[in-house]
Chains A and B, each alone.
Chain A
Amino acid sequence: MENFQYILPEIFISISIMLFLLVGVFKKNSATLIYNLSNISLVILLALIINLSSLDTIYLFDNSYLIDNLSNYMKIILVGSGIFVMLTGSKYIQVINLNKIEYPILILSSILGMMIMISSNDLIVFYMGLELQSLALYVLASFNRDNLLSTESGLKYFVLSALSSGLLLYGCSLTYGFSETTNFDQILINSTEFNYGTTFGIVFILVGLAFKISAVPFHMWAPDVYQGSPTSVTLFFAILPKIAALSVFIKFLYTPFANMNDQWQTIIVFISIASMIFGAVAAIGQKNLKRLIAYSSISHMGYALAGLATVSNQGIQSSITYISIYLVMNLAFFSCLFMLKRNDKYYENIEDLSGLSKKHPILSFSLLIVLFSLAGIPPLAGFFAKFYVFLAVIEQSMYFLAIVGLLATVVAAFYYLRIIKIIYFDPEKEEYETSHNLGLKITLAISTIFILAYFIYPSGITEIVSKIIMI
């Protein structure tokens, strides 16, 4: 029984989900109430996780569940960004008539699934968490069911995700077959000798994970799903599953498959380079901001994976730093998107930003900061994210990866500059509404100031992350 005190956050969130479901079913028109309650429960959840994070590494339930520095940090940024996602989207879902009780509950279930993924130390527990978060995400993607694009994106995500889950499971079964165990630590011990079975297992598992993190060549779902889903769900897609998937990536590569890094290193390098280049090139022609940010996130995942490819603690830490800064930039960007509202309609094309700077100087300035940061121009936070990754990459003398990555940032800079050009250089259009809810404003303010002022104390995240040591 004493194990249960360590999974108090997970228990708490499960009970909340069930409770909110009951409330939603028996109380009429309780959507807004549940939305707010969910937000509060997320805050409590965050407090519970932080409370646990002072502990050392703890193995639970016959070594199948693991709480350590990595899982704690990832859960904290996961739940923290979950809170901000809920805060920014609250007005949006009311305006487009999606304020239903299922919405917050699905988000909570998905977060629960991700938490299980992050903490799992066993193939079966991992798969359970993965499917819990995916099932919630399928529904969320098609949540705006009267919208053709939204239903299409839900279906597309479901079909492709199911395919990748199948591959992942096949990989898991191969791994199990050749290492005779599902426990990560045991797999590590049993896989000291090279054999083709486990190598195939690694490849299939990596394919499945690459799909979840939307890395090239398993990225095809991302643009359509990003564009089709309601914007608040897109924001969710852009941040939370990425955190969970990256965390699982780290866990798989550095726990069960740590001995076989010469097998998977080339795969990760390839995925990373392909994502960086593809994300940068394919975004150039985009007209829809959500679609563009989908390609941009593909290329950002390429950089995050570049850190993992180094097989060094510095690299892992740089990837985690990268995703932390990435999520702040995305929060800021989407907050700006939520502000492009006129007469109860949200605008999401690049052309809609034309001449924004004349009527909305503060909003445009925030966008300017975010976009330059996404492009990785110093002294903004995005630069430091890339800097740490390349510091780790060059430490391992992987010059090819570093140079390709940096050249890809130049290509990527082009499309970010294009948006800035449209905001600042082009003739103005109609004004947008200026009254926004407080949560949105606060999120934008905090994230923009974070990006802008990051250079004053750039080692903040790094110092926290430096406790995470895998090798």
Chain B
Amino acid sequence: MNFPILSSLILLPSIGALFILFTKSSGGKYQSSKYVALFISLANFLLSLYLWYVFDKNSVDFQFVENREWLSGFINYKVGIDGISILFVILTTFITPICIISVNATIKSRLKDFLIAILIMETFMIGVFCSLDLIVFYLFFEAGLIPMFLIIGIWGGERRVYSAFKFFLYTLLGSVLMLVAIISIYWITGTTDVEKLYELGIRAEYQNLLWLAFFSSFAVKTPMWPVHTWLPDAHVEAPTVGSVLLAAILLKMAGYGFIRFSIGLFPIASENFTMLVYILSLIAIIYTSLVALMQEDMKKLIAYSSVAHMGFVTLGIFTMTQQGIEGSIFQMISHGLVSAALFLSVGVVYERHHTRLINKYGGLVSIMPRYAIVFMVFTLGALGLPGTTGFIGEFLILMGAFEKNILVAMIASLGVILGAAYMLWLFKRVVFGEIINQELKSMKDLKTFEIITLSALVIPILFFGFYPEPLMNSIEASVENTLNMYNFDLINSLASKD
């Protein structure tokens, strides 16, 4: 493989953004730039599908590795993917065109700038999932703040400034400690190359502090209780498309980081801190589910449900079992699709009625029957009904948890019930019931582009819900490898202690 396919994936959106920068507006509508953006992002999606096609699913090694000298000889630009990261890359390239299609509905001003921001964002997001060097990872991880800050700040709602600042500063604060840790790793081991670090291992006495530094960054990004408070604000104020990107992909960076770095690099510390993660995850699951029950704003409700779902993810990862980690990855993909779909659905009614308050709606089933159907699918996906992707993820995570700690698993299972409660209640209040608000009667059912985007999301949710094999095949070998390395390191460290 001489063709630098991963770098192309990373760079293509940026090149597209550059191209859009020079397109002229025709009557201030920027239609042409929208087509350019759509074309670029679809091309990127196809490229990533091709990548999946040629990807060797049985190999545990990183594939399509590119290694170039970059920072005066001691840090290389290194990218590569394994079975875990490829799914996130595809998720990113899949969600981006959907965002671009639905841009029209929500973005009224400065469409061109918005498209550029999204494409740049895509570059950074793919970069995060592909990078095999800690510095390169950090670079992409942090750089994503800039476009997201602007997306929330420029195109957001009333309290956008507060939310944008909160988002930016929270994440930055978490990340700087990670930078200290990364540089320390460089001086301890002499490299920041992830593959080499897997081989070398990091001495046990350093692991706890380094793990905590990485944790501070990932916990904010996940987000875990108690540093989750930026997420509802950011979601509520961001434009629909911004929320979609945030929920579907940005949050997954941290989950991916946990698997790739926290477990991969610091197995001993991960073992030490398992209980901490369990407790924080359980609080996230139960507490934010309860908070979600009481929300009156649809977006806020879904934001809190995101926190709860990500609680499942962190729980699953730190069970350190094959099922748990596979379930977590599956849950992240599933949540990426479902939360994107839910935010788009909220966007659909917000676009028509200009409010997100649940009590202003009701009885939509008789006005917008098609909308009611897709919204139902997404609701069921979010609460984890068998037959949707949500079920498989949660089920595997709970299986993994039962294997390790029955009490934790039982409490987490409560979260599933609460999840069903708030999602079904939301659905009932919005879609069923009598039409109290007469203004709703003038609302039209789904437009063509909404049908395209929403059905593009319905299909994978149902398809992988019934037939998860393709995804599972892809991650199985890599997860097994991660766990083997993890157990091997643990046994080694125990042996050296004795």
Q: Which residues of A contact B (CB under 8 A)?
A: 361, 372, 377-379, 383, 387, 390-391, 394-395, 399, 402-403, 406-407, 409-410, 413-414, 417, 420-421, 424-425, 455, 458-459, 462-463, 466
Contact = CB atoms under 8 A, between A and B. Distances in A.
B72 A421 contact: no
A378 B139 contact: yes
Contacts of A378: 138-139, 142-143
B143 A394 contact: no
B176 A406 contact: yes
Interface stretch (B46-54, B90-98, B146-154, B271-279): B146-154
B11 to A, nearest CB: 11
A459 B71 contact: yes
A387 B183 CA distance: 9
Interface in B35-88: 70-73
B168 A417 contact: yes
A298 to B, nearest CB: 20
A267 to B, nearest CB: 24
A390 B169 contact: no
B67 to A, nearest CB: 16
B149 A417 contact: yes
Contacts of B71: 458-459, 462
A394 B72 CA distance: 18
A455 B172 contact: no
B179 A406 contact: yes
B473 interface: no
A377 B142 contact: yes
B145 A421 contact: no
B165 interface: yes
Nearest to B174: A410
Given A403-B177, A424-B154, A458-B72, 5 more contacts: A372-B146, A383-B142, A413-B172, A455-B139, A459-B72
Given A417-B149, A459-B71, A425 B154 contact: yes
Nearest to B127: A379
Contacts of B186: 391
Of A372, A425, A462, chain B has the most CB atoms within 10 Å of the CB of: A425
B107 interface: no
B180 A390 contact: yes
12 contacts: A372-B146, A387-B183, A390-B179, A407-B176, A410-B169, A417-B149, A417-B164, A421-B161, A424-B154, A425-B160, A458-B72, A459-B73
Contacts of B146: 372, 377
A424 B164 CA distance: 12
Contact of B187 (A361, A395, A409): A395
B493 interface: no
Contacts of B149: 417, 420
Given A390-B180, A394-B183, A458-B70, A379 B139 contact: yes
A403 B165 contact: no
B187 A394 contact: yes
Nearest to A403: B180
B184 interface: yes
Given A379-B139, A421-B153, A425-B153, A409 B176 contact: yes
A421 B165 contact: yes
Given A394-B183, A403-B177, A379 B143 contact: yes
Given A394-B187, A403-B180, A410-B169, A462 B153 contact: no
A466 B74 CA distance: 14
Contacts of B154: 424-425
B173 interface: yes
A368 to B, nearest CB: 8
Contact of A394 (B113, B138, B145, B180): B180
Given A413-B169, A424-B153, A459-B71, A377 B183 contact: no
Contacts of B173: 407, 410
